[in-house]
Structure 1
Amino acid sequence: MQDTAQRLLIIDDDEMFCHVLDRAMTRRGYEVLVAHDAEQALSLAGRHSPQLATLDLKLEHDSGLKLLPELLEVVPECRVVVLTGYSSIATAVEAIKLGAVNYLCKPADADEVLAALFKQEGDPDIEVAEHPPSINRITWEHIQKVLQEHDGNISATARALGMHRRTLQRKLQKRPVRR
């Protein structure tokens, strides 16, 4: 348990995930605030100044990467971990450049989230993959990068990739390809 309850802002449009993480963090002594969109997140951050936050990369109507600098402008000392079910190298790098302290792939449990929030340094001993990513993984990451560059606009992304919009939508509905 914490000596003084730190405030944690959970920003995610998945209500079940928010509920589960809220309960787990509350049990660990955190004061938890939950927002399901950018407007609600910025309002709560402005009123309550959370020290910690989890931010979903892909909110229903918003991009977590767009929200991240706005959130840090409101609460500059907040430690933010970006969570996503749509991980890619490009979005991980951008999240860190924009001020996130870490980046986690969902599903992540409360202990993983806390470890990511409080990790102070990189790990030079982390294992380097023996095999390069598959062509399917590289394709997935490229699609995610182009989608990010077009602010989540599927039609514009499909045009930029030279593919039919429905084909792109089908590809986006699939889970990320393993390495």
Structure 2
Amino acid sequence: MAPDRLLLIVEDDAAFARTLGRSFERRNYQVLHATNADEVAALLQQHAPSHAVVDLKLKDNSSGLACVQMLHQRHPDMLIVVLTGFASINTAVEAIKLGACQYLAKPSNTDDIEAAFGHVAGNTDIELTNRSTSIKTLEWERIHEVLAETGFNISETARRLGMHRRTLARKLEKQRVK
């Protein structure tokens, strides 16, 4: 197996990681798996992955962004794709600043991820929208940002946003977090 096809998957959902790993193995990648930053650090002692797929939110309330930073510091040429079900502009910008080459919202499949590995340069020909960001979108992104900061604690998020917990719960029901 070519050394340039070593993939590290940082994902705390074992079933998803296993499925994604098998799919990449069929594409001739050698696959390593970690569930948190400590496991990533341990794997980096013995391996030098060429590619990584990092989940943004890990179960131990740690951020995948810390893993992205660690991976990029140890191996600046590594192609890192951040994969998340909790996408926001703020986390996308930070992921790219910390060394990710792409940021994908779930659900994404192996084709999407592999295409993201191949799309590392910026594109000046991307179509710009004429639509400005709505207040509802900005509010939703702010709610999501605070939710992530509080480890998805609804009561604490409502307190920080200065709204009643039931009001926040109603807003989340309108745009369910997946």
> TM-score band, normalised by the shorter chain?
0.7 to 0.9
| 1:10-52 deviation line (CA, Å, top 9, x unaligned) | 0111222212211111011100011122221221122211111
5+ residue gaps, structure 1, are none
TM-score by length of 2: 0.82
Partner secondary structure for residue 28 of structure 2 = coil
Cα separation, partners in 2 of 1:94 and 1:108, compared to 1, 3 Å: same
C-alpha distance in structure 2 between counterparts of 1:167 and 1:64, whole Å: 29
- The Cα shift of 1:117 comes to 1.6
Report the counterpart of residue 11 of structure 2 in structure 1: 12
Report the counterpart of residue 177 of structure 2 in structure 1: 175
C-alpha distance in structure 1 between counterparts of 2:63 and 2:101, whole Å: 18
Report the counterpart of residue 102 of structure 2 in structure 1: 102
Aligned CA RMSD, in angstroms, stands at: 2.6
Report the counterpart of residue 57 of structure 2 in structure 1: 58
Equivalent position amino acid for 1:11 in 2: V
Q: Superposition pairs for residues 116-135 of structure 1, below 5 Å?
A: 116-135=116-135
- The Cα shift of 1:138 comes to 1.6
Q: Is the 8 A contact 1:5 1:31 kept in 2?
A: no
Equivalent position amino acid for 2:19 in 1: V
Report the counterpart of residue 92 of structure 1 in structure 2: 92
Report the counterpart of residue 80 of structure 1 in structure 2: 80
5+ residue gaps, structure 2, are none
C-alpha distance in structure 1 between counterparts of 2:68 and 2:82, whole Å: 9
Q: Is the 8 A contact 2:150 2:156 kept in 1?
A: no
Q: Is the 8 A contact 2:9 2:17 kept in 1?
A: yes
| Count of residues in correspondence between the two structures | 174
Equivalent position amino acid for 1:174 in 2: R
- The Cα shift of 1:98 comes to 1.2
Equivalent position amino acid for 2:126 in 1: I
C-alpha distance in structure 2 between counterparts of 1:8 and 1:120, whole Å: 16
Q: Is the 8 A contact 1:42 1:74 kept in 2?
A: no
Q: Which moved more, 1:79-88 or 1:62-71?
A: 62-71
| 1:125-162 deviation line (CA, Å, top 9, x unaligned) | 222234334433221211233345x4647365433211
Q: Is the 8 A contact 2:72 2:98 kept in 1?
A: no
C-alpha distance in structure 1 between counterparts of 2:70 and 2:147, whole Å: 20
Q: Is the 8 A contact 2:3 2:50 kept in 1?
A: no
| 1:56-89 deviation line (CA, Å, top 9, x unaligned) | 1111111112332123233333221111111111
Cα separation, partners in 2 of 1:66 and 1:131, compared to 1, 3 Å: same
